Amino acid sequence: MLARFIAPFHAFLLALVLIAFTGPAFAGPFEDAVAKFTTDDFSDSEEAVDAIASSGSPLAYPIISALKDERLMFDADTKKVYIKQEDGKAVDAATGAPVDAIPDSASAVSLNNKLRRHIEAALGGLTLQSPNLDARISAAKSVFKSHEEAALPAVEGALAKETDRTAKAFLAQARAAIILFKSDAAEVDKLEAVATIRSRGDQDALAMLSDIGTDQPPAVAKAAASAVSSIQNSLAIWSGVQNAWYGLSLGSVLLLAAIGLAITFGVMGVINMAHGEMVMLGAYTTFVVQEVIRTRYPGLFDYSLLIAVPLAFLVAGAIGVLIERSIIRFLYGRPLETLLATWGLSLVLQQAVRTIFGPTNREVGNPSWMSGAFELGQITITYNRLWILCFTLAVFVILLAMLRFTALGLEMRAVTQNRRMAASMGIATSRVDALTFGLGSGIAGIAGVALSQIDNVSPNLGQGYIIDSFMVVVFGGVGNLWGTLVGAFTLGIANKFLEPVAGAVLGKIAILVLIILFIQKRPRGLFALKGRAVEA
């Protein structure tokens, strides 16, 4: 019976002995690596980072992350290393045990650019096998940029286990970047690495292949030079696509701002210099809606623009009808007086807004579904610009349908083509004028809702678009919506292609000169309206 108890006791003593002697043996290398930080020597710190990253310790990521953020402190006297946590507390880097306070004699471990690249590679290697897909992709991108040789085993291990196609591609590129700069890598592996990096085709790949140095084998240098030329040609094409997208984006803004002006100018022949202020009123309506939602119904913020669109249309449209009934209708047939009156009205509206809301810019936020961006090939598309383009085309289609299939649309087209004949057929032209001016102003108001997402909401908001809007209307053809559509996108794209060459100011001047020359040849614009009155 006694032997039954003695045998387990001996086994327990043996286990204690093994723990006592083998535990420090396992912990020693990790503690020795951490202790290297106390020399505050860049070479020792690099060796420490490599040893800690490959140790598998749960403290590896906190230590290297703290080193990157300059929160890794060392005390040269006691040879202790501490992690200063973001909440102000501290732990012993070697053991992870909390400490009461970091000694006053402690200082942060020094960094240089080479060590920072080493840290980035180590952190990338530590997160290459994270369960989070975005973290793995981000880590692979980080290793690609740093291309530190120490991260190669971690990259290859992660690549072997990776199942996601996108993450696998980024890991392959990270591996290729490391091999390309690895001095003892085989030539065939380097040629394969050049091909992998070439397939990436972005600025990072171009910079890497341009910076491989002169110590590469001739075949590798030749392949890299060929890849650089290919990537440059590809990026030039993508740059053109990016400019075209920017042009479409600008064109959608111009179309939204000009489409209401095209209606009033075409039907009534009124040069409305206060059209920009209708845009401004729509933007301020959006601001008021968001302020009410922020203070009373914060859960509805993502729906603020959907609420603001009809309200901005009603506010700007009602003010437009009021302007037409009180001022414009007394000045028909007198274009100079109309121009001066609407210009003076624009100043009055600007000052009124300054008095009510102040002269400073007002903040209008982006709902979550209009925030952020995504990449398509080598171009970046922001969600707010994409939604504005879709919204503009939707407004255009709805307006075309209204003109084609409603009684008001039929009357507007009749008055546009021949006012006197329309009046003789019983159409109340004065009512059509008021509703047309209100419709054009209302559309300008919803243009302000869209512009509030990409421009500063201030009393001067509309002034930045009024001249461009008139250019679009005149270039496309007065009163022709299809002409306004083509004119807006043509001018937008032309402007964005001229800006990189001539600059923003000279680009606009060049566009204006080209329009003047074009109008000399085609006074009625791209798409002239047909009708006895407009042809008279």
Structure tokens at 485: 């559509």
pLDDT of residue 317: 92
Instruction: Please state the three-class secondary structure of 73-117 as a single string.
Output: EEECCCCEEEEECCCCCEEECCCCCEECCCCCCCEECCCCHHHHH
Higher-confidence residue of 218 and 26: namely 218
Model confidence pLDDT, tens digit, residues 407-441 = 888 888 788 777 788 888 888 888 888 888 899 89
Distances (CA, A) of 74 to 59, 96, 206, 225: 16, 14, 40, 46
pLDDT, average across residues 448-462:
87
User: Are 236 and 412 a contacting pair, CB within 8 Å?
Assistant: no
Say if residue 68's pLDDT is above 80: yes
pLDDT of residue 529: 57
Q: Which residue is it, tokens 């946590």?
A: 85
**DSSP states of 394-454 as a string?**
HHHHHHHHHHHHSHHHHHHHHHHH-HHHHHHTT--HHHHHHHHHHHHHHHHHHHHHHHTTT
pLDDT of residue 397: 92
Q: Which residue is it, tokens 């020359």?
A: 517
Residue 6 confidence class, pLDDT cut points 50, 70, 90: very low
Helices and strands: H and E segment counts in the chain: 21, 7
Q: How far apart are CA 70 and CA 116, in angstroms?
A: 11
Structure tokens at 166: 């996108």
Q: How far apart are CA 424 and CA 419, in angstroms?
A: 9
Dihedral angle sign, alpha carbons of residues 425, 426, 427, 430 = positive
pLDDT, average across residues 308-327:
92
pTM of the model: 0.69
pLDDT of residue 487: 87
Residue 347 confidence class, pLDDT cut points 50, 70, 90: very high
Model confidence pLDDT, tens digit, residues 141-174 = 888 887 877 778 878 888 888 888 888 888 898 8
User: Are 320 and 441 a contacting pair, CB within 8 Å?
Assistant: yes
- What is the chain's mean pLDDT, rounded? 82
- C-alpha 503: how far from chain center: 22
Q: How far apart are CA 520 and CA 515, in angstroms?
A: 9
- Side-chain half-sphere CA neighbours of 172 within 13 A: 18
Residue 22 confidence class, pLDDT cut points 50, 70, 90: very low
pLDDT, average across residues 170-185:
87
Residue 491 confidence class, pLDDT cut points 50, 70, 90: confident
pLDDT of residue 528: 63
